[in-house]
Copies of this chain bind each other. A is one copy, B any other.
């Protein structure tokens, strides 16, 4: 058992993000990340399975947040309103981490393997959301359709938030995108 290092996870994440941005994801090694963070490789592997995991460790929390928000929506809420509650919860989480999110997005955009991984994570998120809706008694295919619609809204609002000028508000963009989806499906 190694000695306890204060905020080792945060230091490793920051070191990894710096190196991915400076030297590229492919060129970065776990040894390099640990060195930059002033920690050992052994400590790295106590927190992350590999260098890719540093970028995707947040996906599990996001999924849990979605599922919890859907489960906690009022019993009388329509499926799309339960999804809207999940999107609001996600927007609050992201709002504080715009710089990190932008940096992460640039790293992922530069690497096809990471883009694939991101697609897989989004598909898992959508499947988890559909599962949470079924738990509320929503039948199929409505549960999967609402979940996929919600994931699409999230993805598009996220891109607008990342790319937008100034300091855009993620929750406002999410709600706008959901309204836009409603208008589109209504044939407007």
Contact = CB atoms under 8 A, between A and B. Distances in A.
Contacts of A160: 141
B141 A177 contact: yes
Interface stretch (A18-26, A36-44, A53-61, A143-151): A143-151
Chain A interface, DSSP helix/strand/loop, else mixed: helix
Size class of the contact patch on chain A: 20 to 34
B177 A145 contact: yes
B80 A149 contact: no
Contact of A120 (B119, B145, B146, B187): B119
B152 A156 contact: no
Contacts of A135: none
Interface string A146-181: 101100110110001000000000000000010011
20 contacts: A78-B188, A116-B119, A116-B120, A119-B119, A119-B123, A141-B156, A141-B180, A142-B183, A144-B156, A145-B152, A145-B153, A145-B177, A145-B181, A146-B185, A148-B149, A148-B156, A149-B149, A149-B185, A182-B185, A182-B186
